[in-house]
Structure 1
Amino acid sequence: MILRPVRDDERDAEVVREIAAAAFGAPRSLDGGHPTAGTAWAARQDSRTRHLARTDPGGCWIVEDETAGPVGAVLSARREGTWSLSLLAVVPGAQGKEVGKALLARALHYGRACLRGIACAPGDPVAARTLRRAGLTLHPTIRLSGPVDTTGLDPLDGAVHQGTSRHQDLMDSVDRRTRGGAHGPDHEELLRHHALFVVDDLAGSGYCYAREGHIEALAATSRRLATRLLTAALVATPPGRSARVTHVCAESQWALDVAVAAGLSLTNDGFLCLRGLRPPELAIYSRTVP
């Protein structure tokens, strides 16, 4: 077995995507992606892989077998003392052979100086055991999904603006309050694939990334602003598309209230895995770059 860094090129991005597809198939992977979602999904996954390979080469690794070729991959990042795990995947033929253990150990070593850690995991028992053994606390989460009934939502109680890269300082400030460290360059990557909603007034500030009803990430400084952002993002869901909000902690009862008002279904949705952090009340972490 050879363990090597992920390179910032098209070939390695494709390799990582193929490993994830082989490892998880139709079910959700560690980052919540769906390998059957087509070329748009593939483009987003490849872009994420190349982004992390550029910003965090020490946290992104591939395991290659001399006979079978690439059999496992991990993507992780460090941001201002917060370590995050974006992907951990091992192809079926290599599972149970400590490939995943070796990859996670390398990613954890990369984040060894970080006091905080974040990973969004599915309900898969192997993933849960692996991350618990790594010292992360596991917190069950909720998925909000379905067609949006806008008639049940309250009117917005203030302005919501279209965000741009000029709002990065605002978003980094909110990140530091809700996840312990700013996302920094990750905001540029998220902006490539999502619409950005921003609030900034006397009540505080916050942001939300969304794409055709899928809420990728949300963070705010108060429940009122978080509610406003989620409401605005759900209202913007294109006709005929279902909304999807994943890995919502039980502490975020405001999000459940919005979901109930919008007629969304509430179901179990794996775990939010944390180190040195409490489950967030005012944030829904990105599965792409937690």
Structure 2
Amino acid sequence: MLLRRVRDSPRDAESVRRLALASRDAAAAEPHASPGGTEPVDCPVAAVRHRRATEHLARTDPEGCWLAEDGSGRPIGAVRAALREGTWALSLLVVRPEARGAGVGGALLERAIAHGRGTLRGIARATADPAAARLLRRAGFSLHPTLRLSGSLDTAGLTAPDGPAVEGGAGQRDLMDSVDRAVRGGAHGPDHEELLLHHRVVVADDLAGSGYCYVAEDGRVELLAATSRRIASRLLTAALLSLPAGTAVTVDQLTADQQWAVDVGLAAGLRVSGSGLVALRGMRPPAPYVPSPAFL
């Protein structure tokens, strides 16, 4: 097995996406499987976003992105992690099904964690796969179950936001970084530039607090952070009301602290289901917060 850095190239980005697909499909085929923690990678729009996220992370944080290859040079595993202002975030750890049990996942995780060594805080996406859970627990992470809100959007049940929530953009970068620091301990920084290429962002900033919410046209709430539950509820409501009624909506990776989001989702006619795990080290579950699949 050879470990090498992921290159900022379409070829490597597609290799990582195909590994994620193979890992997801294998997990779905297992008895009593759930799609917990999986990132959409197969529809055309999601595939582009997944490849772009890999290229972005390989470019901005190359020490956190690694590929494992077998003796013939075939990719058999990948990891994506980033270090942002003292907060280390792991968004992807996948191993090809036939290569599992050979130490590939552990070797990849070790490289990614080494990149964040010395940081105070760590957050990682995780599926319910026992091998991934064991690796993260051995690395000192606590595991927290998460929920997903999904379904056809019923805007009739949503009340108008209780204050201003407006369309934002690059001009709100300082505000968004400030909210990140308050909620997750470190700004997303350059990740906001990538997110703004693919999503609309709704922002709020008044006496009740500050926050932002990225939402995609396909109905996925990509990332939300706020300094109060009132602002978070306002932002999520405004983001959902900006979508056409009947849109297939997804709000994912909600820890138990995010009951404000559950309330908004239920009012919008969404169903609640299990979603997987989030792993944390040196920090409590960020709240009010909806993590990004690609950037946490």
TM-score w.r.t. structure 1 length? 0.95
What SS is found at the alignment partner of 2:185? Answer: coil
Matched, 1:2 2:2: yes
What SS is found at the alignment partner of 2:193? Answer: helix
Paired letter, 1:4: R
User: In structure 1, what is the equivalent of residue 16 of structure 2?
Assistant: 16
* Correspondence for 2:223 among 217, 237, 254: 217
Matched, 1:150 2:155: yes
User: In structure 2, what is the equivalent of residue 50 of structure 1?
Assistant: 55
Matched, 1:92 2:97: yes
User: In structure 2, what is the equivalent of residue 107 of structure 1?
Assistant: 112
Matched, 1:69 2:74: yes
Structural RMSD (CA) = 1.6
Give 1:126 shift: 2.5
Paired letter, 1:247: Q
Partners of 1:111 and 1:99 lie apart in 2 by: 19
User: In structure 1, what is the equivalent of residue 203 of structure 2?
Assistant: 198
User: In structure 2, what is the equivalent of residue 253 of structure 1?
Assistant: 259
Partners of 2:226 and 2:169 lie apart in 1 by: 17
Matched, 1:170 2:175: yes
5+ long unaligned stretches in structure 2: 29-33
Give 1:2 shift: 1.1
Partners of 2:74 and 2:153 lie apart in 1 by: 45
5+ long unaligned stretches in structure 1: none
Residues 225 and 287, structure 2, Cα contact 8 Å, conserved in 1: no
User: In structure 1, what is the equivalent of residue 279 of structure 2?
Assistant: 273
Partners of 1:167 and 1:25 lie apart in 2 by: 38
Paired letter, 1:155: A
Paired letter, 2:210: S
Partners of 2:35 and 2:93 lie apart in 1 by: 8
Paired letter, 1:14: E
Give 1:103 shift: 0.2
Greater Cα offset, 147-156 or 194-203: 147-156
Identity within the alignment, % = 56
TM-score w.r.t. structure 2 length? 0.93
Residues 19 and 71, structure 1, Cα contact 8 Å, conserved in 2: yes
Which string of whole-angstrom CA distances, capped at 9 and with x for unpartnered residues, describes residues 238-259 of structure 1? 3432111001111111111111
Paired letter, 1:82: T
The 1:44–1:81 alpha-carbon spacing in structure 2 relative to 1, beyond 3 Å, is same
Residues 30 and 86, structure 1, Cα contact 8 Å, conserved in 2: no
Matched, 1:32 2:38: yes
What SS is found at the alignment partner of 2:20? Answer: helix
The 1:134–1:30 alpha-carbon spacing in structure 2 relative to 1, beyond 3 Å, is farther
Partners of 2:193 and 2:150 lie apart in 1 by: 27
Matched, 1:135 2:137: no
What SS is found at the alignment partner of 2:285? Answer: coil
What SS is found at the alignment partner of 1:196? Answer: strand
Which string of whole-angstrom CA distances, capped at 9 and with x for unpartnered residues, describes residues 149-180 of structure 1? 22221211111111111111000000001100
Residues 34 and 41, structure 1, Cα contact 8 Å, conserved in 2: yes
Paired letter, 2:232: A
User: In structure 2, what is the equivalent of residue 226 of structure 1?
Assistant: 232
Paired letter, 2:23: A
Partners of 2:117 and 2:231 lie apart in 1 by: 34
